């Protein structure tokens, strides 16, 4: 349990910082091209807790997935899980692109950022979480 | 969800624009389905609808997180948010159950994560 909580906290801190770096700094100008799609700065601040809850949910479900089916594989298995989840998420993002008029380059940059994010998240979780002595097989 | 989506018309492409981007929607679902199936094969190598559905629920929760974040940064309604979250969890739970029920590797090919990492 202690390792689970440690993995969760470490991955959450990374996800928060990375999310701010990608969306709040690097892609800021691209977001500014479609202001009608986004809340205003002050409005976003009043909804900030939803971002924290959303990131916590992503990390919690990620660690649960890793523990339930990948925990014996270490860092490599964590990275594999991150890659599989993110490529499926890119598919979801392509679906959103079909219905929302945001720039195509946002789809590309956000997907690259997301892939790096999930690879590092997987490495962090795989590096920190260690299963109990007996190897757990998935079924 | 169609009625709920009509409450935020500025966030969505107009009908004709959406039709010209429809291929992205189809391709996106293909990518999602393919990699979700790969994930199922790794997570539940022995198959089974229940294990597949469990995986689907967890994956649905991973993807519910970005919906919460979208709600924080886009002027969506709570109705849309709840619909998207419930939709994601139910969609992946059913998809996982379907993949788990259909996917049956031959016995000698079943390999668990621990064995693969050796």
d(C-alpha A9, C-alpha B1), whole Å: 35
Q: Do A98 and B25 touch (CB under 8 A)?
A: yes
Distance from CA of B68 to the nearest CA of A (A): 5
**Which chain A positions have a beta carbon within 8 Å of B58's beta carbon?**
61, 64-65, 68
d(C-alpha A99, C-alpha B27), whole Å: 13
The reported pTM is 0.87
Where in chain A are the domains?
Answer: 2-128
pLDDT band at A139 (very low <50, low <70, confident <90, very high): very low
**In this predicted model, what pLDDT tens digit does every residue of B16-62 receive, in sequence order?**
999 999 999 999 999 999 999 999 988 887 878 999 999 999 999 99
Q: Do B61 and A57 touch (CB under 8 A)?
A: yes
* B93 contacts A103 by C-beta, under 8 angstroms: no
ipTM of the complex: 0.88
d(C-alpha B56, C-alpha A122), whole Å: 18
CA distances from B117 to A17, A62, B114 (A): 31, 20, 5
Question: pLDDT at position A130, please?
Answer: 84
* B57 contacts B93 by C-beta, under 8 angstroms: yes
Question: pLDDT at position A137, please?
Answer: 42
What's the token pair of residue B77? Answer: 């309604």
Q: Which residues contact A64 (CB under 8 A, 6 or more apart)?
A: B58, B61
Question: pLDDT at position A136, please?
Answer: 47
């Amino acid at each position: 349990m202690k390792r689970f909580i440690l993995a969760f906290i470490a991955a959450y801190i990374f996800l928060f910082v990375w999310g701010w770096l990608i969306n709040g700094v690097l892609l800021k100008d691209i977001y500014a091209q479609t202001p009608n799609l986004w809340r205003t700065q002050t409005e976003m601040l009043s909804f900030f807790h939803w971002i924290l809850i959303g990131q916590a949910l992503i990390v919690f479900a990620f660690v649960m997935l890793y523990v339930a089916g990948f925990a014996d594989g270490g860092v490599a298995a964590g990275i594999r899980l991150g890659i599989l989840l993110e490529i499926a998420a890119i598919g979801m993002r392509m679906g959103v692109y079909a219905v929302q008029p945001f720039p195509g380059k946002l789809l590309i940059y956000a997907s690259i950022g997301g892939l790096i994010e999930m690879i590092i998240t997987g490495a962090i979780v795989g590096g920190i979480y260690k299963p109990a002595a007996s190897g757990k097989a998935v079924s | 969800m169609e009625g709920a989506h009509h409450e935020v018309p500025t966030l969505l492409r107009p009908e004709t624009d959406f039709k010209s981007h429809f291929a992205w929607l189809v391709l996106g679902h293909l990518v999602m389905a393919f990699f979700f199936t790969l994930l199922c094969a790794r997570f539940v190598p022995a198959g089974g609808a229940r294990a597949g559905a469990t995986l689907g629920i967890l994956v649905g929760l991973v993807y519910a997180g970005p919906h919460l974040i979208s709600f924080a940064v886009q002027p969506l309604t709570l109705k849309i948010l709840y619909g998207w979250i419930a939709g994601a969890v139910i969609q992946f739970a059913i998809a996982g159950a379907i993949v788990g029920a259909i996917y049956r590797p031959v016995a000698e090919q079943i390999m668990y994560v621990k064995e693969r990492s050796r």
